[in-house]
Amino acid sequence: MDEQHRYGQPQQQTGYYRPEPRRPRVDAGRLWAGGVMTAVVAALTAVVGVLLVRGVLGVPVFAPEGDGMMGDASTGLLAMGAALAALAATGLLHLLMLATPQPGTFFAWIITLATAVLVLLPFTTSLPMDAKIGSATLYLVIGIAIGSLLTAAARSAARGDGY
């Protein structure tokens, strides 16, 4: 292959080569392993958060006050929802890495806005203020965990010209 076509574009009059940007190759196994571990961490974050907010601080979030430290089935649903959100975010991230320029930037915006929606959602209810703040804080921590862990997994899984 001659020098003129090596980078995908012919030599210009100035002698300057303009290489086409390379798409990063994605190690899908590594990305999804990181996504599954992120789902585990997100679920455990939900459980620990409920224990802290309900058990230590005494704020009745995700269940009526009489349901004890762990609440009721809603605690399990919260943990399951956090895990599913992490897996959905992994799928989104994989798609972004394969198809978009600057996938990290798009992913950061999407995760930030989705987390903001969940943080604001409790304030649209008639819950007591302490339950609103407790719920919003828990959603924020789960969102940060998912976003930061998947960003690290994506960097590890990207081969080529970065993430």
The mean pLDDT value for 118-140 works out to 94
Q: How many CA atoms lie within 13 A of 13 on its CB side?
A: 0
What gap in Å lies between CA 53 and CA 5, rounded to an integer?
Answer: 62
List pLDDT tens digits, range 76-128: 899 999 999 999 999 999 999 999 999 999 999 999 999 999 999 999 999 99
Structure token pair of residue 111: 């995760």
Terminal Cα-to-Cα distance of the chain (whole angstroms): 29
- What is the pTM for the complete model shown? 0.79
Q: 61: which strand partners?
A: none
Tell how far CA 44 is from the center of its chain.
15
pLDDT at residue number 46: 96
Query: pLDDT tens digit string along 29-77?
Result: 999 999 999 999 999 999 999 999 988 888 888 755 555 555 566 888 9
The model's confidence at residue 8, banded by pLDDT at 50, 70 and 90, is low
What burial class does residue 16 get, using C-beta atoms within 10 Å of its C-beta: 0-12 exposed, 13-18 middle, 19+ buried? exposed
For the segment 11-32, the average pLDDT, to the nearest whole number, is 72
Is residue 5 over pLDDT 70?
no
Q: What is the pLDDT of residue 88?
A: 98
Amino acid at 52: L
